[in-house]
Amino acid sequence: MTGALQATSRPRLPRGVRLKHDKVRGEWLLLAPERVIKTNGVARAVLERCTGELTLRDIIAGLVRDFEAPEARIEADVRALLMSLAEKRLLDF
């Protein structure tokens, strides 16, 4: 983690952190060192976009379109999720 998350930051899941669909439990999970984190539909949509190619601004715009939700709320949710992962060193940007 280096400083604050900017609109132009390009968040990405580092190696060793990946999404997986678990057939046995029927859910999408984020697998990380010594951790398994459950994800809901929105979190999964955010994390699938964290490839290091899209900027935070692009990610939010895409979600606003797909989920037909107010931008301010999406932005708050996305930032909260990404910062909590970055604090755990599970996201780079």
Partner 1 sequence: MTMTPPAPVGLLAELTHRCPLGCPYCSNPLALEGREGELATGEWKRVFSEAAALGVLQVHLSGGEPLSRRDLTEIVRHCASLGLYTNLITSGIGMNASLVKALAEAGLDHVQLSIQDADAASADKIAGYAGAFAKKQEVAALVTAEGFPLTVNAVIHRANAARAGAMLDLAVALGARRVEIAHVQYYGWAVANRGQLMPDRAAAAAAVAEVEQKKRELAGIIVVDHVIPDYHARLPKACMGGWGRRTLNITPTGKGLPCHAAETLKHLTFWNVRDASLSDIWYQSPGFNAYRGTAWMNETCRSCERRDIDHGGCRCQALALAGDAAATDPVCHKSPDHARLADILAAETQTEPAPYHYRRVAARGSA
H helix count then E strand count, the chain: 3, 3
Q: Which of 4, 7, 36, 69 binds partner 1 (CB under 8 A)?
A: 36
State the Cα angle at 37 between 36 and 38, rounded to 5°: 125
Contacting residue, 20, 38, 65, 73, with partner 1 by CB under 8 A: 20
Measured in whole angstroms, the distance separating CA 91 from the mean position of its chain's CA atoms is: 8
Q: If binding is defined by CB under 8 A, does position 22 make contact with partner 1?
A: yes
Q: Which of 17, 43, 63, 81 binds partner 1 (CB under 8 A)?
A: 17
Minimum Å gap between C-beta 16 and partner 1 is 3
